[in-house]
Structure formats: C-alpha cells, structure tokens
Structure 1
Amino acid sequence: MPETVKSPTQFNHLPYAGVLPRLMALIYDALIVAGLWMVYGFFAMLVASTFGDLHCQPEHQDYTPCVGGPLYQLGLLLVTAAYFLWSWRVAGQTIGMRAWRLMVANNNGVQLSWYQCLVRALVGPISLACLGLGFFWGYLRIDRASWHDLASDSEVRQLPKKKKAKKL
C-alpha cells in the first residue's frame, strides 16, 4: 500500500471515491494503454514481418497482413488486461488512479486477489460499454460503488493530499 495508507483500518476510514475522479483516472489510463499499444504494435509488426513470412507493404501503407489479424487483437487485449491486473494487484492503483489519488482494495481494506482483479477487469468494460451506466451507478449509492466494484467485492477510496514540507 502507498505510504499514506499503512493499514487496512486506515483505508476503511478514507472517503469513497466519487464518479468523476474515477472517470478522469480512466482517461489518464487510456493514454497509458495507448502508449503500451504502440509499443506492442511495433514489436508485433517486427516479429510478424521477420518471422511470420508476412509481406507488409509500407510503400503502399498496408500493414494489415502484419498487425490486422485476430492474433494481433488478442495481444492488444492481453496487454490492456495485464496493465490493469498488475497495477491493481501489486500497487492497488493504476497510473491514472495515482494521479487522482485513488486506491482500490477489497471491502476489508486488504489488497485485491488475482481473482478479484480479473472479475474487475471483465466487468469494468461492461460498465463502460453501457454508456457509462456502470460507473454512473455510483451516484445512486452511498459507497459510490460501480458495477465492477460490486462484482469484485472491492472499493475505491480517495487518498488524502500529501502534506507539503515546510521550508525554514
């Protein structure tokens, strides 16, 4: 857990995260994922054109044979899932959540299990795909829980601001 949260008891005393900061953190994370996709795309095209006997035609700007198939798309999905699963499991935060001072843990304030992270990653896109209804569901609840919070038995809390060191 981050330095500001030293125990599950402290986590449970933090305020619930609102819907807007969660959506803003998701926008930050989308930028990070886009960068990861670019890196993955570079390596996928390099491997596919070198070892896959695919004939990319850069002079015609046709990279479809190299990076347009279902295997490539599965790789994009895996890269995205790995980013979120690893971030939630190891740190309790993605980069976007860190920027907005958000943290996720189970309802006891303990780090999420891999299973909880997987459920969260599977239900999260559904929450978003329903025109964000899964996220806006938090406005109807006192604990601000979204569909993926409820499905994964987790909570997102707002971390306090760091205190600035006083200059002498």
Structure 2
Amino acid sequence: MPTQRAAEPAPGNPTGPLTTPSIQRRLAAFVYEGVLLFGVLFVAGWLYSTLTQLKDPGRQGTLGLQLFLLLVLGVYFVWFWSRGGQTVAMKAWHIRLVDRQGRPVSQVRALARFALAWLWFVPALLTAKMAGLHGGALFGLLFVGVLAYAALARLHPDRQFWHDAACGTRLVDWRPAR
C-alpha cells in the first residue's frame, strides 16, 4: 500500500489524521453516486420536459435540456460539498471533501472542482463525438476513460485525483464516531 501523507486532524473528524481513501473505494463511491444521480436526473428531466412542454427532445430542445441537467448536477454537488463536504454516496463510503489543510471547502472551490471534475468524461465524449460513437461503444469508451483517469491518481504523491490537486481539495477518510 502506498504511503499516504497525513494532514492535521480537522475539527469534528473523529478519526484523527486525514488519510486518503483507496482508489477502489473512491471508484465505488463514484459508481454509487451515478446510481443515485440517475434518479435525480430522471426527475429533473421530467420536470424540464413538463414545464417546457418538450415532446420530442431528439428534434428540439436538446441543448436546453442538457444545460438544465448540467445546472442540476452543479447545484447538487456544490451544495453538498460546501455544506458538510459529503454527498449521499460519499457519506455511505465514509469519504469527505476538504481543502488541503483539512477544512471545509467554500462554494467557489466546490464549483471549481465540479467544473474540473468533467476531466473524467471530456476526452471520451470528444472522441465519441468525432468518431460518431453511440450506445454501447460510447459507454465502453466512457468506462475506459474513467478507469484511465482514476489510474492517473497513482502518479500524484498523495494519490489524489488531478482535479482535486488543481482545486486545492482532497478526498479523505471520514468515519463517524461510534
């Protein structure tokens, strides 16, 4: 197991020094987050379609729907990260987002992290768009892209993801007191 730098304990953290969760655990939380967000985005998409009376998103309003769903995702993540540092999935996996010193993140830092976190998907999405890939091929390309991006964390001294390094944030173990 790689050596992980421990920061000073943050106020309210019952585990003491901050350690970085394993990449496998962070990916498990990532997958769980995707399952939860499916429901959030389904309801948001239904709401948008109902309010705009969108009948055929394939022919009209696709960009509006996509931008609305991006806004919903942004609000979801920025809200949770700046108000406790944990989304629902992160709570389940005992992972918390903090700044480099172990303090809670601001809304501005959370928004920057949200924007840069799209590095997980952008290369695969651009490749799929240029190659005209859809369906299973697109999903496979996204899957490989996410695994490749996660593997890049092994190159970081603290095993953090690169968007966290750029934003001055880090994911840490955060277990509740028993």
Stretches of structure 1 that go unaligned for 5 or more consecutive residues are 57-62, 164-168
Q: 1:161/1:112 Cα in 2 relative to 1: closer, same or farther (>3 Å)?
A: closer
Q: 1:137/1:12 Cα in 2 relative to 1: closer, same or farther (>3 Å)?
A: farther
Stretches of structure 2 that go unaligned for 5 or more consecutive residues are 1-8, 124-144
Distance (whole Å) between structure 2 residues aligned to residue 36 and residue 104 of structure 1: 21
Kindly name which structure, 1 or 2, has the bigger radius of gyration based on alpha carbons: 1
SS, match of residue 17 in structure 1 = coil
Question: Structure 1 length as normaliser, TM-score?
Answer: 0.76
What is residue 135 of structure 1 aligned with on the other side? 150
1:16-165 matches, cutoff 5 A = 16-49=20-53, 56=55, 63-64=56-57, 68-130=61-123, 131-132=145-146, 133-160=148-175, 162-163=177-178
Question: Structure 2 length as normaliser, TM-score?
Answer: 0.72
Q: Identical aligned pairs, as a percentage?
A: 25
What root-mean-square deviation, in Å, do the aligned CA atoms of Structure 1 and Structure 2 show?
Answer: 2.6
The amino acid that maps onto 2:32 is: Y
The amino acid that maps onto 2:26 is: R
Distance (whole Å) between structure 1 residues aligned to residue 166 and residue 32 of structure 2: 23
Point out 4+ residue stretches in structure 1 off by more than 6 angstroms: 8-12
Distance (whole Å) between structure 2 residues aligned to residue 99 and residue 146 of structure 1: 20
Q: 1:103/1:48 Cα in 2 relative to 1: closer, same or farther (>3 Å)?
A: same
Give the CA deviation at 1:134: 3.4
